[in-house]
Amino acid sequence: MCEWEGTDSPAASQYRVDGRWAAPCDFSTVSLMSSWMMPMSFTPVDAALARAFVDADLGIEESHRLLANLVEEGSQLSVVTCMRSEAGSAVDEFSEMVYMSRSTAWMTVRRDRRGDFPLVVLPTQLRNIVHLVATVPYSDYRWRKIERWLSRSRTPLSEFWIDLDDFLTIGSSLEAHGETRASRTTGRSVLDDSSITRGWRSGKPQFGAAIDEMLSYPASVRSVTVRVDRLLHAQIRRRSGATIYGGSFDLFRSVILDQLANAGQSRLDLLTGRERQLDRPIEKGLAIRLESDTFADPVAASDLAKLLYSDSELGVAVLHSNPYFHAAVTDYTDGSTFDVFVTAPDEVVILPGYRSLPGALSRISDRIGDRFSSSALHETDAETKPTLEDLFGDG
Partner 1 sequence: MADPTCVDDLMKSFSDYDATVDVVSAFEMLFTESDTGLPSTVAHFERFPAIPVDGKMLTPDFTVLFDDESALVGEVARIALHENSVEGLCRQLLRYDALTQIPASTGFAAVEIPDVLLLVPSDVGPEASRRIIDDRMANNDHWYDPHTAPTVMQFHFDTMKYVFQKLQLSLNGHPDDRERIEGLGSWLKIKESINVKPSRFRAIKAGRAFVNDAPDDLYLATLLWTKVVPLQEEHASGMKVISSRSLRDEVRRYFGRINISDIRRAMDVLARAKLAVALRDDTWAVAWFQLRGAHGDHDVARTIAQRWCEPPKGRGKAAQLVAASTLDTEAGTDMTLFSLMDD
User: Which stretches of the chain bind partner 1, using CB under 8 A?
Assistant: 276, 278, 281-283, 285, 305, 309-310, 312-313, 315-320, 323-324, 326, 328-330, 332, 335-337, 339, 341, 343-344, 349, 351, 353-355, 383-388, 390-395
Q: Which is closer to partner 1, CB of 174 or CB of 350?
A: 350
Q: Which is closer to partner 1, CB of 100 or CB of 296?
A: 296
* Nearest distance in Å: CB 207, partner 1: 35
Quote the CA–CA distance of 240 and 233 in Å, as a whole number: 18
Extract the runs of DSSP E, i.e. beta strands, from the chain: 2-5, 14-17, 77-84, 106-110, 117-123, 129-134, 157-158, 180-189, 195-199, 219-228, 232-237, 241-247, 286-290, 314-320, 325-331, 336-344, 347-352, 374-379
* Nearest distance in Å: CB 192, partner 1: 18
Q: Which is closer to partner 1, CB of 4 or CB of 354?
A: 354
**Which residues lie across from 234 on neighbouring strands?**
226, 244
* Nearest distance in Å: CB 285, partner 1: 8
Asked whether the beta carbons of 208 and 171 are under 8 A apart, the reply is yes
In the Cβ-directed half-sphere of 7, how many Cα atoms lie within 13 Å? 14
* Nearest distance in Å: CB 90, partner 1: 16
* Nearest distance in Å: CB 332, partner 1: 5
Strands 77-84 and 129-134: antiparallel
Q: Which is closer to partner 1, CB of 81 or CB of 153?
A: 153
Q: Which is closer to partner 1, CB of 80 or CB of 348?
A: 348
Asked whether the beta carbons of 160 and 362 are under 8 A apart, the reply is yes
Q: Which is closer to partner 1, CB of 221 or CB of 327?
A: 327
By residue count, the chain amounts to: 395
Q: C-alpha dihedral over 254, 259, 261, 265, to 10 degrees? A: 140
> What is the DSSP annotation of 255-300?
IIIHHHHHHHHHHHHHHTT-S--TTS-----EEEEESS-GGGSHHH
* Nearest distance in Å: CB 275, partner 1: 10
* Nearest distance in Å: CB 384, partner 1: 7
Q: Which is closer to partner 1, CB of 128 or CB of 362?
A: 362
Quote the CA–CA distance of 38 and 339 in Å, as a whole number: 48
